[in-house]
Structure 1
């Protein structure tokens, strides 16, 4: 199980949010990750960020061997524009995990979606997928892709995430007194109440939709690890990768039904880094 999870996460650069290996020591540090802060999680951060919430629950189910449930959580995170979760869905269809059988065509469509913003790790994997498909599978992938983009593409999913973040912020600040800069949030813990500065919890990069997208871009645009690298693809094709999607544009379905998932308690997800 550990070997399987490690393979998936390296292939789609999940490990980019973890500690970088020594080879990357000279690169600028990654932005802080609130999902590694137990106080941030226990203060209700995930309730306003469903993209991160359902991704983490999906990873927890993967660890526990509940692959079908993990797939459902990744699809629900995908509904809120989470590109790493879309990449996980692609890998699971590609490897036949959590599904009745492998579906390379559907896997390509999901990886094309994960690469929508030009994140290099996902673009590279998308090209590897495409090179492995036969003509019938390629046609099927493009057909599947239009339906997937309509529901999960950024044009449909980002407005949902924006609404969730704004509602969550209003709900949390509305239940407390004081300006954010001086606000102290008290979180119950094993040794009693602990406090976290409101300025940290309400950092604009987590609550302003444009800054939040930029925060994701800073982590995922050039992943630090990966089984398949952009350089390998270029060497094989002797040409730069074109990040443009092959899937025809489809009108977004912003009001599409949200995927259902099992009930899970996310308390404790931020107690330690996801390794």
Structure 2
């Protein structure tokens, strides 16, 4: 089974009918089979809090439809918000030549970015593909990696995404403090009556809105998504400190934590 044929599998799952979370793409020898579970709908409201989640969802939909150019564009949007699955998929797209541009050095550079949190699957993929590069390609990969670092590593993209999440959640936390309900387009609350609909997936869908959703219930779900999304990030409260060297070559030999 080739690492290069890994595709964006089930990108999002709905949690209690109210939110969704990104999952790491799973290896598959058949890309089309892996993409059958691509999400039918990506709630736009999530872009307010975790844009990397939202754009990865949209990119996965595009990939499933065979629109690789749109998929690449949305994955790059997600990557800019520190989505490690998106950065991983971009690496595979360059390795595979999915948009007509096969560039192993650039693919390995993206895999290196995706592996900076020492996720086992991403790290294994990076090391395997790095080992296949010749000396000139490794030199190119180093140059690409240094350029990508300016906008896509956790020091930049991760901090950007955390600031976005904090700002987006401010109103929710204020509502929780006041004991208020919240109404979020496209996200069903975990409880309530059948009164109400939301716009999503091309039309109105029963949302069980009723009297709305308690702010604290939404906050709990979003905080869980936040912890999953930023898991392994250097300086994040849930992990210890991990550092990489300055080149792809040093990155390959960095110890796992």
Q: TM-score range by the shorter chain?
A: 0.5 to 0.7
Give yes or no for contact 1:205–1:212 (8 Å, CA) kept in 2.
no
CA deviation after TM superposition for structure 1 residue 8, in Å: 2.3
Q: Any idea what the Cα deviations from partners look like across 1:8-31, whole Å, max 9, x if unmatched?
A: 237xxx56x78xxxxxxxxxxxxx
The within-5 A match list for 1:231-250 is 244=244, 246-247=247-248
What's 1:197 paired with? 214
CA deviation after TM superposition for structure 1 residue 215, in Å: 8.4
What's 1:158 paired with? 158
CA deviation after TM superposition for structure 1 residue 199, in Å: 2.2
What's 1:259 paired with? none
CA deviation after TM superposition for structure 1 residue 163, in Å: 1.6
TM-score of the superposition, structure 1-length normalised?
0.61
The within-5 A match list for 1:167-206 is 167-172=167-172, 177=175, 179=177, 182-186=179-183, 188-189=196-197, 190-191=205-206, 194=209, 195-203=212-220, 206=223
Q: Distance in 1 between matches of 2:107 and 2:44?
A: 36
What's 1:9 paired with? 7
Q: Distance in 2 between matches of 1:115 and 1:178?
A: 36
Q: Distance in 1 between matches of 2:233 and 2:182?
A: 25
Q: Distance in 2 between matches of 1:60 and 1:123?
A: 25
* 1:216–1:56 CA distance, 2 compared to 1 (3 A): farther
Match of 1:39 among 13, 18, 31: 18
Give yes or no for contact 1:53–1:77 (8 Å, CA) kept in 2.
yes
Give yes or no for contact 2:172–2:182 (8 Å, CA) kept in 1.
no
Q: What residue ranges of structure 2 are gaps of 5+ in the alignment?
A: 21-42, 185-195, 198-204, 235-242, 251-257
What's 2:123 paired with? 123
TM-score of the superposition, structure 2-length normalised?
0.65
Question: What do you get for the CA RMSD once the two structures are aligned?
Answer: 3.6
Name the SS of the counterpart of 1:132 in structure 2: coil
Name the SS of the counterpart of 2:66 in structure 1: coil
Q: What residue ranges of structure 1 are gaps of 5+ in the alignment?
A: 1-5, 19-32, 218-242, 250-275
What's 2:25 paired with? none
| Alignment pair present for 1:107 and 2:107 | yes
CA deviation after TM superposition for structure 1 residue 178, in Å: 5.1
